[in-house]
Chains A and B, each alone.
Chain A
Amino acid sequence: MPEIKFDQFLAAPEREIVIVRYHDIFQTEAALKHGKFSKEYQDLSAVIVLDPVDMKKIDAGDGDPVKISSEYGTVVVVAKKSEGENDARANAGHSGVGYMPASVWSNILAFGSTPVSAKVSRSQQKISTVGELTRIQRLID
């Protein structure tokens, strides 16, 4: 019998954030080198950079999957804590704003390049793939 965890029937805490897209040179490079269906591209694209304050509020740790829903769509991506000098701080100064690399994962939420409101919560689901988001499958090996 599968193990039943006490908290699995409780709704994960949710947080309202604004999604802002950004460009990442390594992600662009991965798209060119390995293609937009590749694991390398997905690992650098299906990401949201969150402020430690927001991570705490939704009870998510660095590298945990999080579900993000806007009025345009829903994705599951990896949560990353703000990097660099902000690592050690409890507050990276952008609480309420989540940064996502420009890609199909953020575009499905943002509908263009504008900032868009969304709800973020910890998730037990797997990271969304391109195929799941667009129903498009890779044409080449």
Chain B
Amino acid sequence: MTTTATRESFGKALLELGHRNPDIVVVGGDLNISTFAHLFAKEFPNRFFDLGPAEQNMMSIAAGLAASGKIPFVSTFAVFGTARPYDQIRVNIAQMKSNVKIVCTHAGLLTGEDGISAQSIEDIALMCALPGFNVVVPSDGPETESVVKLAAEISGPFYIRLSRPATDVIHQTPTNFVLGKAEELRSGSDLSIIACGIMVSASLKAATELAKEGIQATVINMSTLQPLDEKAVLSALDTGAIVTAEEHYIHGGLGSLIAQSAARQGAVPIEMVATTRYAESGKPDELLTKYGLSSSDIVDAAKRVVGRKRD
């Protein structure tokens, strides 16, 4: 499988947007090489503002830019772009419905060796707690590109969550991302695995393993977490069991959102693959394994949930 870093796809898409639309501006916080916003900065220095690591200032400034008709992309790491300036995001962006796109890289455990202060496992919960905020966790590079370009065209706030390392490419052709629409990548009748971000690839691997043992799984890429594709959840209920998989804390993320939607629309056993605690420094793969986010964890969860179904 080929790999690519979603943050790099973002940087390239942003550069392309910059050429296409003079209203695109970029706001960064001293991490612009890491977020790939430097590609835009180099080409459009007059439309790029580096505010240093001063994220509260950054978010309110972005809202001010949006109030004057600009389309600001704010880019930093996930911990610094959500938790630190949360009230600024809440009042100046969410409550004002500002046309600001927050694109954060280095989300989740994949941030690895930097340790728990840098590993954002709460950001999905935070951002989905903001009414009207579009929250998207792309599954790979090609989808990221599509999401970033679409976000520039849809008026209103976006949070787009990306990773540091290169991750599996699961879309071989350019994707046509539709906000609020889940993507079925594989179909099976025994259970549905609903995943987002890097866990989509892990889910596909898990489904292949499960098939060897005669368990057929549907795999859904739920890249939009808000607004949630409730219809996709409804059809997942038809398989009689659900596993959710996300690189995030178990509370308030994809699993919580799916469980909430499933409970409203029916009732099936659900198992959740997510982290249940803060991790530590380590290599991304080591962390995913130690903290229960590998494809074998999805396989185990699938077996458990199918077992509960038979009870």
Partners in one complex: no
Please give the residue numbers on chain B whose beta carbons come within 8 Å of chain A beta carbons, in ascending order: none
